[in-house]
Amino acid sequence: MAPLLPTLHDPSPIRKYDRAQLRQLSDEVRACVLDNVSRTGGHLSSNLGTVELTVALHHVFNTPHDRLVWDVGHQTYPHKILTGRRERMPTLRQIGGISGFPQRSESEYDTFGTAHSSTSISAALGMAMAAKQKGEDRYTVAIIGDGALTAGMAFEALNNAGVCDCKLLVILNDNDMSISPPVGALNRYLAQLMSGNFYAAAKNVGKSVLRAAPPLFELAKRFEQHAKGMVVPATLFEQFGFNYVGPIDGHDIDSLVPTLENLKHLDGPQFLHVVTKKGQGYKLAEADPVAYHGPGKFDPQVGLVKSTAVAKQTFTQVFGQWLCDTAAHDGRLVGITPAMREGSGLVEFEQRFPDRYYDVGIAEQHAVTFAAGLACEGLKPVVAIYSTFLQRAYDQLIHDVAIQNLPVVFALDRAGLVGADGATHAGAYDIPFLRCIPNMSIACPADERECRQLLSSAYEQNHPVAVRYPRGAGAGVTPHLTLEALPFGRGEVRREGKRIAILAFGTLLYPALTAAESLDATVVNMRWAKPLDVELLLKVARTHDAIVTLEDGATMGGAGSAVLEALQVANLLKPVLQLGLPDQFIEHGDPAKLMSGIGLDAPGIEKSIADRFGRA
């Protein structure tokens, strides 16, 4: 049979395909995903698991008129391939290329931009109600994973949707359980039967006839509930007001298509439970979906190969080792993660201290308040969380931790730009949004050694402290094995120069040192964005003609702003140049190229200073 994928430039022809063609197309899409991700890197396991579901959705629904809203969005490569972006897949997650997540600016088929979890049902409900209000006949489908469904926001949306009369379908993409015998032929038949008009009509007629006889009506209703409970799980969703169908095999086109077609013609909110397997169709990813979740470039015939080169220790690894060492020293320490065990470096901690390890699921709000509760009872919680994900728990940070001045340590991974994941994952805003909160302190380690030392400094405090550090490795400064802390709120002069003083916050200290050589500038490693080392700042300001602040975070309200505020309080007028992330969202791409593009590498820093203040 001739290949189908090369002839597709939009999904409209897919709606005319028969089942055999849909299966063939699924195989071609899966091969396309594997080929491209192996060349560019990116999310693999999740995308291999959603191929048939994506094909079936574009076959049954009239996209983009009908809206598809993907949760998180790291499973949308098949969707991108089918919606006119196949030829651009080699540019995936590169500067100027297509995003690894849905983006409204990229395609009309990307109806809602996303990259964080648990937003799909809320957005889809808004779209569905907007269609109803405008008198437009369209269907809206939210596709959400079992992990994303653990977040409170998803249940808030379900609670709201269940009382809304609109054309909304929520699909639970359950990839955390194996496809067992109940999800076979019998279950396929039951799912199709229960999603069909005959079942819906018979159910409604039975209720209307028996309503006149309340005891019989109650008996019929209970029988229906128990009968459905025997063959389908999660009647919880029916309590929310949804018609629940499933679970069905998410890789079986013959199961997916008729079920979706039946659900499309039912009134009110519908809930379809599909079971998929991460890495489906690529045996290596099926066997180890975690390793193949977000791989770099690799040979599909060989699979992932561990590099023989000695790699620098990453900041995440430094944190993980510090956490284990501190836990061995202090029995009060507990570690908390919102479903980011591997990403935040907690694998060894869970193995060594299972009774003090808490993975609360994708529930950042709960993670922070849970930590507050632990702290109230005398424990010392450490919340390992990405900078960008702490944004989701801002009220809890203020209301539950800071106002009560509880000793919670926030280990903020992925501070600054993160590269290929783009603006949705960049830790650009933590200094501004933390700095304005009373009782909060913010440490900015310049390298791996300082990261361990400042984590110890944070742990010693009796109030909330955040320690922010970037993705990957830094300057390669080997940490000491002790738990020695650095002085709280104190910086240091790293290079003595003339005329210009560069105040560096975090890992930009090292490009600052390089830039300072040709400028003969003083370089100060500030270490703390809050409390600011005001004594050191004023000493430097009084002995230099100009100040340059340098940070890998937003300049608006950031550490540079803190410096300006401190100079103003001291009534000290001095020219200040703030260098950091500009007031714009930075696209995805190679981190070094991105930093160079915004002038935050050594040559860019040198040029900005020379342009403003001249050379010595």
* DSSP annotation string for 381-411: EEEEEEHHHHGGGHHHIIIIIITTT---EEE
Catalytic, 211? Answer: no
Check 278, 468, 471, 530 and give the catalytic one. 278
C-alpha distance across the termini of the chain, in Å: 72
What are the CA-CA distances from residue 113 to residues 69, 99, 202, 594 (Å)? 9, 10, 40, 21
Query: Is the CB of residue 304 less than 8 Å from the CB of residue 291?
Result: yes
Conformational region of residue 41, where left means phi above 0, alpha means psi within -120 to 50, and beta covers everything else? left
Catalytic, 452? Answer: no
Tokens of 328: 């061995």
> How far is Cα 226 from Cα 283, in angstroms, rounded to an integer?
39
- H/E run at residue 257: helix 253-264
What are the CA-CA distances from residue 588 to residues 92, 341, 422, 595, 599 (Å)? 9, 24, 4, 11, 16
Check 28, 364, 450, 551 and give the catalytic one. 364
Q: Is 438 helix (H, G, I), strand (E, B) or coil?
A: coil
Catalytic, 517? Answer: no
Residue 516 dihedral angles phi and psi, to the nearest 5°: -70, -25
Residue 243 exposure: Cα atoms within 13 Å on the Cβ side: 26
Check 86, 167, 188, 392 and give the catalytic one. 392
Beta bridge partners of 554: 581
The vertex-518 CA angle with 517 and 524, nearest 5°, equals 40
> How far is Cα 526 from Cα 435, in angstroms, rounded to an integer?
15
Sorted by sequence, the CB contacts under 8 Å of residue 551 that are 6+ apart come out as: 431, 444, 504, 505, 506, 508, 529, 558, 559, 560, 579, 580, 581
Active site (catalytic) residues:
278, 364, 392
